[in-house]
Amino acid sequence: MNKKISTSLGLSLLIATNIYSADKLDTITVTSATKSSQSIKDVTSSIEVITSEELEERQFTDLTQALNSVAGISFTSNGGLGQTSFVRINGAHYSNVLVLIDGIRYNDITNGSAFPQNILITDIKQIEIIKGAQSGIWGADASAGVINIITKDSEDGFHGTINTEYGSYNTKKYGASVSFKEDNYYAKLNAQRVISDGFSAQATRGVDLDSLEDDSYKNTTLSLKTGFNIDDANKIDLSHTIIDSESEYDGSDANDSDDKIISKSKFSKINFNHNDSINKLDIYASKSSFDRVDPTGYTNEFTGDIKEYGIKSNIEYNNSDFIVLGIDRKEFTQKKSYAIDYSNTGYFLSNSNKFNDDTIFTQSLRYDKYTSFKNKVTGKIGLKHSFNDFEFSTNYGTGYKAPSLYELSHDGGNDLNPEATKSFDISGKYKDLKVRLFRNKIDDLLTYITDHYENTDGTSVLKGYELNYNKNIEEDTLLSLTYTYTSAKDKDGERLLRVANRNLKFGLDYYGIGKLHLNVNGEYIGNRKDVGNTQTGNYTVWNSVMNYEINKTFSTYLKVDNLFNKYYQTIDGYATAERSAYVGLKATF
């Protein structure tokens, strides 16, 4: 057995389930917990990281599939590849989750939600998932958590990759990446393309998908990262990403429509960094631009953007302590379908203290000033303590979701206020087992009533627990299990729709045959209700992956999803893929 491959693959799965051995913690650096780069072992927040190694092991295609491998994460989708998908953290509404690409806001400006189905994973270095209210650090729309996607960096010298895949539904995936790095300059260009005939997005239960028209999907993603050192203490980094997608879909009132959602999004950022012995200073500007045409959607055509400017300083003191403080300003503008805009200026402060190398205490405070609704003050505190083989952590935070531009344009004359969230979690880890309990309370819920939105009285409560177990049951075999129980109820005590009460995820990896890696994984979804009290849960889906390293240059894989051809729906009336197989090849030079 190739020991190096076994170690790398095994570690990446450990990372995915957030169970780490003490000697590996120093190798993982995260940025989204406090807006500052730090070792994951020094983070009090409930954070999970998916690395590029684990993404390649499982051969995911888009962000939705990757996130679904994590405990407490669930998704629903209006069909197959490329169809509108929604990701929830611990049952919270998807618009309460802030999604970032290299620190640039990805959430759509119209309804506040992100569209993870359009984010391809080939160029991703790391995905950070912070659970619980994070508005005290990141501001609006982070009341349920933050998903920060970090793309790959350039390596020293000249490097490149070429990847291709072909599979079911005439799905083709291909791309290339080239990078160059020397002492004072780096540049990386990545291009990815996915084309699929797909299958009918909408389907009545029991109807043969082959009898319905296919809903195709196309995605072209281009990205550029470059930067240069001005001198030893100062540097400039720039990034630009274009996501151009087109997906045929079926609306809620028709099985065989020819409607298409055509979307072109651009994300750009420039950052100046100064680094000396006590201070790390960042001055940055970013822009997220959205241009989408949706013939039958509630926003038929719109063009809008988010501009953000900020300055942030990270000051170290007492050797192991630091404070982060800064100001940022965001400008939200909608230009088509309805013209509306607002702006937000935020002032934030985070402090982290470490005592005796085994106790960490963090505090964050943020004040947000708005032009369209009441200002908000949010905060967060966290404590983490380790001794022997046991680790304990707890976090309390407040958060909020700002009314979206669409909600503001349909407020019926009401003065809308942000939703307010109070979030608490407590975790304990002993050797291979981790237990986390969570409780989130949401007030002033934004609700659609007849023809407008308004804040409703009452409190919605989302609570439950997560179990993570990861164990090397043999020298070359790794078992991974996660179980999540979620009780999600509205102000009247009624269960929230599309949130499963139980979710079991499992994986078994075997590395004992030379350069071959075998994986079987899957999940069980418990009771889950949809509109009209329809049941969409109580099913199990199995998948398998086989990876093989041919030599130092070439590797290949075979992936089979829905191994036992289970018929199920995540949203009532919308189809999911039958048994499907994909084969891929990658060259690295």
List, for residues 96-140, the tens digit of each pLDDT value.
999 999 999 999 877 778 889 999 999 999 999 999 999 999 998
Tokens of 193: 């393309």
Q: Give the lowest-confidence range in 97-101, 445-449, 516-520.
A: 445-449
Q: Is the pLDDT score of 383 beyond 80? A: yes
Asked if residues 234 and 273 have their Cβ atoms less than 8 Å apart, the reply is yes
pLDDT band at 262 (very low <50, low <70, confident <90, very high): very high
Of 188-202, 338-352, 529-543, the one with minimum mean pLDDT is 338-352
* pLDDT of the residue at 292: 86
- 12 in the Ramachandran plot: left (φ > 0), alpha (ψ -120 to 50) or beta? alpha
pLDDT of residue 33: 72
Alpha-carbon distances of 236 from 223, 285, 314, 392, rounded to whole Å:
17, 12, 17, 39
Say which CATH architecture domain 3-154+167-588 belongs to: Beta Barrel (2.40)
pLDDT of 256 higher than 60: no
pLDDT band at 422 (very low <50, low <70, confident <90, very high): very high
Mean pLDDT value across residues 213-219? 94
As given in the structure block, the two tokens for residue 340 are: 């509306």
Give the CA distances from residue 190 to residues 11, 50, 207, 221, 246, in Å, rounded to whole numbers and listed in that order: 26, 20, 40, 8, 20
Helix (H, G, I), strand (E, B) or coil at 253: coil
pLDDT higher than 90, residue 192: yes
| Closest to 522 measured CA to CA, from 566, 486, 487, 556 | 566
Over range 522-532, report the average pLDDT.
Answer: 95
Report, as an integer, the average pLDDT of 324-351. Answer: 89
Residue with tokens 């960490």: 360
- Asked whether the predicted pLDDT for residue 508 surpasses 90, the reply is yes
Condensed to tens digits (0 to 9), the pLDDT of residues 140-186 reads 889 999 999 999 999 999 999 999 999 999 999 999 999 999 999 99
Q: Please tell me whether residue 476 adopts helix, strand or coil conformation.
A: coil
Is pLDDT of 93 > 60? yes
pLDDT of residue 412: 59
Q: Is 464's pLDDT higher than 90?
A: yes
- State residue 18's pLDDT score: 35
Give me the sign of the Cα torsion angle 131, 134, 139, 140. positive
User: Looking at residue 303, what is its pLDDT?
Assistant: 83
Residue 8 has pLDDT above 60, yes or no: no
Please give the pLDDT value at position 296: 67
pTM of the predicted model, to two decimals?
0.91
| Predicted local distance difference test score (pLDDT) of residue 251 | 67
Segment 348-373 mean pLDDT: 93
Whether the pLDDT of residue 498 is over 60: the answer is yes
Q: What is the pLDDT of residues 9-67, one digit of tens each?
A: 333 333 333 333 333 444 678 787 778 888 888 889 999 999 999 999 999 999 999 99
pLDDT of residue 255: 53
pLDDT digits (tens, 9 = 90+) for 362-375: 999 999 998 877 88
Over residues 539-555, mean pLDDT: 97
Per-residue pLDDT at 407: 79
Instruction: Report residue 376 as tokens.
Output: 């908000």
Alpha-carbon 228 to chain mean position: 29
Q: How far apart are CA 349 and CA 351, in angstroms?
A: 7
**Average confidence score pLDDT of the chain:** 89
User: Which residue, 139, 160, 145, 172, is CA-closest to 67?
Assistant: 145
User: How many Å apart are CA 253 and CA 269, to the nearest integer?
Assistant: 40
**Domain positions in the chain:** 3-154+167-588
Residue type, 440: N
Q: What percent of the chain has pLDDT over 70?
A: 92
The answer to which of 233-247, 346-360, 439-453, 524-538 has the lowest mean pLDDT is 439-453
Q: What local confidence, expressed as pLDDT, does residue 281 receive?
A: 96
Query: What pLDDT score was predicted for residue 12?
Result: 36
